[in-house]
Amino acid sequence: MSTTVSTQNDTTAQKTHHPVQVAKRLEKFKTTIFTQISTLAVKHGAINLGQGFPNFDGPEFVKEAAIQAIRDGKNQYARGYGVPDLNIAIAERFKKDTGLDVDPEKEVTVTSGCTEAIAATMLGLINPGDEVILFAPFYDSYEATLSMAGAKVKSITLRPPDFAVPIEELRSTISKNTRAILLNTPHNPTGKMFTREELNTIASLCIENDVLVFTDEVYDKLAFDMEHISLASLPGMFERTVTMNSLGKTFSLTGWKIGWAIAPPHLTWGVRQAHAFLTFATSNANQWAAAVALRAPDSYFVDLKRDYLAKRAILVEGLNAVGFKVFPSSGTYFVVVDHTPFGHENDVAFCEYLIKEVGVAAIPTSVFYLNPEEGKNLVRFTFCKDEETLRAAVERMKEKLRK
């Protein structure tokens, strides 16, 4: 017995530690900040107002539809570009929201969450060397998937307090060399909503320079202080726009990973080519349930917005009382604040202190910029938590956070 143990120990001791291997196109990207912060929050028992997942469940009528679909045998591969009834439901919802008629068979592609819709769009429509413009701060998967596609990324920074689009900078950046602009409205992480004036200007510049637009609209039902406008609905824009969305944020079912991309047939072709070789198809039963969700009565969306307005008020009032400089959030379930009143070197140092010493987790925003220095003063909190959790987090900060 002792000989066997000795041999096992010797074998373990002799294991070679190999350096991690990763393709050059991804070597600059670390473990996502959301994973890092959530792991640290668990370790220190912090209330997690970092990663944007609800701590409450989605509606019963949608979950019951998924259970029924499983019982009905919807358990094999779904059709690659979507269960027909879900494609129809997406088209119906898009018509109701934007007034645009889209063909569910030719212009709607169901994906494994909006993150896959983003990847399929980049990989299916962007060639190596193509120039793509992002608005910083931006969701971290944008840069990573563009890197996979070999794109040349240009960034235009939205700055506090209102994170308005610097129109003249955009005019000087966009050109005949620009393949696409990628934008997110309502905007993660800032909560900004692109105004009609901003979208009209972006649209005219895209038409003038023959540029595509990829829009991430996953927070469209969490538009609080102004109307959400889909860029595809503006004159001349549907033909050059891929509109991406998902079920997760609106129905608090982020783990289902049901997303979609809406685009004219000539752009849908590229999206579907990439999608076919990324995931091929998305969860069958959950797609049937997603169709039920999208046909929810208007009262569901009214109640959703009312509930989130109450949550936003608790967090914003609390953050102001604690001493942060809080920037307006017109949409999404995020609030960005300036942490500098508390005297920490940068956003990462502050967030580590907040988790370890105060017991609350937030996201440092510097990871959302090409130049991290631009985000070093800002951190993002989420309010997609129950009211008790939000109040508890505010109380911890009031009690322990010191200037």
Q: How many CB atoms lie within 10 A of CB 13?
A: 7
Provide the token pair at 6.
């000795």
Give dist(CA 363, CA 350) in Å, integer.
Answer: 10
How many other C-beta atoms can be found within 10 angstroms of the C-beta atom of residue 227?
8
pLDDT tens, 251-272? 999 999 999 999 999 999 999 9
| Per-residue pLDDT at 6 | 42
Identify the band that residue 2 occupies on the pLDDT scale cut at 50, 70 and 90. very low
Same structural domain, 212 and 267: yes
Residue 202 lies in a domain: yes
Tell me: do 336 and 353 sit in the same domain: yes
Residue 56 pLDDT greater than 60, yes or no:
yes
DSSP class of 99: -
User: CA dist 160 to 309, 337, 341, 381, Å?
Assistant: 22, 10, 16, 16
| Together in a domain, 136 and 77 | yes
Is 113 among the domain residues?
Answer: yes
Q: Are both 244 and 367 inside the same structural domain? A: no
Residue 184 has pLDDT above 70, yes or no: yes
Q: How far apart are CA 136 and CA 72, in angstroms?
A: 45
Same domain, 291 and 337: no
Q: Which residues pair with 261 in a beta bridge?
A: 109, 244
Number of other residues whose CB lies within 10 A of the CB of residue 260: 31
- pLDDT exceeds 50 at position 356: yes
pLDDT of residue 16: 80
Domain termination residue (choose one: 253, 277, 296): 296
CB of 253 closer than 8 Å to CB of 58: yes
Whether residue 3 has pLDDT greater than 50:
no
pLDDT top residue among 339 and 3: 339
Asked if residue 214 and residue 168 are part of one domain, the reply reads yes
Q: In this structure, what token pair is assigned to residue 292?
A: 């039920």
The pLDDT score that the predictor gives to residue 29 is 85
Structural domain includes residue 18: no
- 388: domain CATH number is 3.90.1150.10
Residue 119 has what pLDDT?
Answer: 98
Same structural domain, 64 and 180:
yes
**Helical (H) or strand (E) element with 37:** helix 33-44
Clarify whether residues 335 and 389 are in a common domain.
yes
- The number of folded domains in the chain is 2
Q: 238 and 201, same structural domain?
A: yes
Asked if the model's pLDDT at residue 361 lies above 80, the reply is yes
Residue 31: per-residue pLDDT: 77
- Angle at which helices 60-71 and 284-294 cross, to 10°: 140
The pTM score is: 0.94
CATH number, position 241:
3.40.640.10
Over 70: is that where the pLDDT of 75 sits?
yes
User: What pLDDT is attached to residue 32?
Assistant: 80
Residue where a domain terminates, one of 252, 275, 296: 296
- Contact indicator for 224, 335 with CB cutoff of 8 Å: no
Task: Tell me whether residue 70 is exposed, middle or buried, using C-beta atoms within 10 angstroms of its C-beta: 0 to 12, 13 to 18, 19 or more.
Answer: middle
For the chain, give the mean pLDDT. 95
Are residues 291 and 333 located together in one domain of the fold?
Answer: no
Residue 2, in any domain of the structure: no
The pLDDT, as a whole number, for residue 278 is 97
Structural domain includes residue 238? yes
* Residue type present at position 265: P
What is the mean pLDDT of the segment spanning 140-169?
97
pLDDT score of 22 more than 60: yes
pLDDT tier at 364 (50, 70, 90 boundaries)? very high
Same structural domain for residues 169 and 219?
yes
> Is pLDDT above 60 for 172?
yes
Mean pLDDT, residues 55-76: 98
Share of residues in the chain with pLDDT > 70 (%): 97
Mark which of 261, 296, 331 sits at the end of a domain. 296
CA distance 337 to 328: 9
**Assigned domain for 351 exists:** yes
- pLDDT at position 14 is 60
Same-domain check for residues 262 and 291: yes
Q: What is the pLDDT of residue 5?
A: 40
Please tell me the distance from the alpha carbon of residue 163 to that of residue 106, in angstroms, as a whole number. Answer: 36
Contacts of 174 (CB under 8 A, 6+ apart): 133, 181, 205, 206, 209, 211
Report the length, in residues, of the chain.
403
Interatomic CA distance for residues 327 and 329, integer angstroms? 6
| Distance (Å, whole) CA 21 – CA 17 | 12
Average pLDDT over residues 364-391: 97
pLDDT in tens, 122-140: 999 999 999 999 999 999 9
228 vs 221: CA distance, rounded Å: 8
* pLDDT class of 44 with cuts at 50, 70, 90: very high
- Its domain, for residue 92, covers 60-296
Residue 73 lies inside a defined structural domain of this protein: yes
pLDDT confidence tier of residue 4, bands split at 50, 70 and 90: very low
Supply φ then ψ for residue 150, to 5 degrees.
Answer: 80, 20
Phi, psi of 216 (to 5 degrees): -100, 110
Which of 267, 256, 268, 264 shows the shortest CA–CA distance to 294? 256
Neighbours of 99 (CB within 10 A): 9
Mean pLDDT for 277-300 is 98
